[in-house]
Every structure is written in structure tokens, then in C-alpha cells.
Amino acid sequence: MCSSPAVQTTTLQAGVASAEISRAATSQFEPVGPMHTARISQSATVLNDGRVLIVGGRGDTVTASAEIYDPATKQFVTGGLLTARYKHSAGLLLDGRVLIAGGSDDRDWQGKMNSAEIYDPRTGKFSATSPLNESRFKLPEEAALLVSGQILVAGGSKKVEVYDPASEQFLIAAGQMIDARHFMTESKLKDGTVLLAGGYPNNDQGTAETWIYHP
């Protein structure tokens, strides 16, 4: 009698820790790092001093890990968010701090967040700021910086919000989109308006629709 061979199962991690730098002069990629935490659906924000802030994301679970990539050493230095999150949005403020807003925990749709926090590169620490008016996730990775110095947070809801660093409050913008758009993009145009493009509503069907936000 022949016995059946044993079946070996492997658990795959939803995320990678590797990192690369693109060299425009040579059109080549150069491996750096790697990160200390494997992740997907994180945000990456270029700081004013040229370093890059990597925030949140998901490996086996949603993480509160934050890392700073230093181009001088080609290495990542670890830190930590106040709240584990992924599918959030991040935007660079005029004073060099970074706003991190929304996202979700391991429950995805049931774990949508309205919390927000600020990273200050001068102290290397995160601190809480006022919450969004609506819980939202599947946001644009980069939130657009407006001419006023405010940050636009769109997606995950029909409503659009603006973060005012002077009052540390989120303000609901006038008007709204027809549907809540997920994973759309925000692109600031030369005239100061912001193009909101693509994504999909709650029916998971991609859209070709675009919107213009007028500050």
C-alpha cells in the first residue's frame, strides 16, 4: 500500500520589506534598506530635509510601525504611530510636519477610522490632532497641500474635508461628490485647484469620472 505524500502549507505574508531607489541619470533601480516591517497600503511622504517617512500599512496585521528612510545612510530608522492604520492618507504641511488621517484597522470596512495624528520631524514624535468629521479609508496615499497651507482629504465618503493647521480642525468643504470614491487620486493643478480622479464607489466598479476641488 502506498501512502499519500504529506501536504506542506505555507503562510504568505501580505507585504514586503524590500526597498529600491530609482536613479534618473541611469534609469536603473538600486536596492536599499530593507525596511524593518513588511507592509502594503502604507503612505510615503518626502520630508523637507530629503528623508522619507513611511507610515502604517499591513503585513500579517495592520501595523503602527513608522520608519524614516535616510538617503545619507540608505537605511531605515524605526518609530511608531499612535494608532495602527492602513489605507490612510498623509500630507506634508508647510511647516514640515506631516498629517496622517483616516484609514482602517484589521476589520477593514468595520474598522474605518476618523482619527488623525501629526508627525513632527524636529522631535521625531507623533501627536494626536482633531479627528475627521467622517470615518473613511481607502484614501489617496498623498493628501494635497493647498495654496492656503491647508490639507485636502478626499475619498472614502461623498464629503471632502480640509485640515486647517491654524485651528487644528477638519472642515467640511461646500458641496459633495455623487458617490464615495475609494482609492482615487488627488493632484494639485497649477491654478491651485485639485483634480480628484478615478477610484470606485461602494459597488467596486471603477470609474472614469473626475472632479475639481476649488479652494
Domain ranges of the chain: 22-213
Question: What pLDDT score was predicted for residue 14?
Answer: 67
Question: Residue 103's closest CA among 66, 68, 145, 132?
Answer: 132
Residue 164 to residue 127: CA distance in whole angstroms: 16
Contacts of 132 (CB under 8 A, 6+ apart): 101, 102, 114, 115, 116, 153, 161, 170
| Burial tier of 88 (Cβ tally within 10 Å: 0-12, 13-18, 19+) | buried
What confidence tens digit (pLDDT) does each residue in 142-165 have?
999 999 999 999 999 999 999 999
CA angle 48, 105, 154 (to 5 degrees): 55
For domain 22-213, the CATH superfamily is Kelch-type beta propeller (2.120.10.80)
What confidence tens digit (pLDDT) does each residue in 55-99 have?
999 999 999 999 999 999 999 999 999 999 999 999 999 999 999
DSSP 3-state of 110 = helix
Strands 43-46 and 125-129: unpaired
DSSP 3-state of 109 = helix
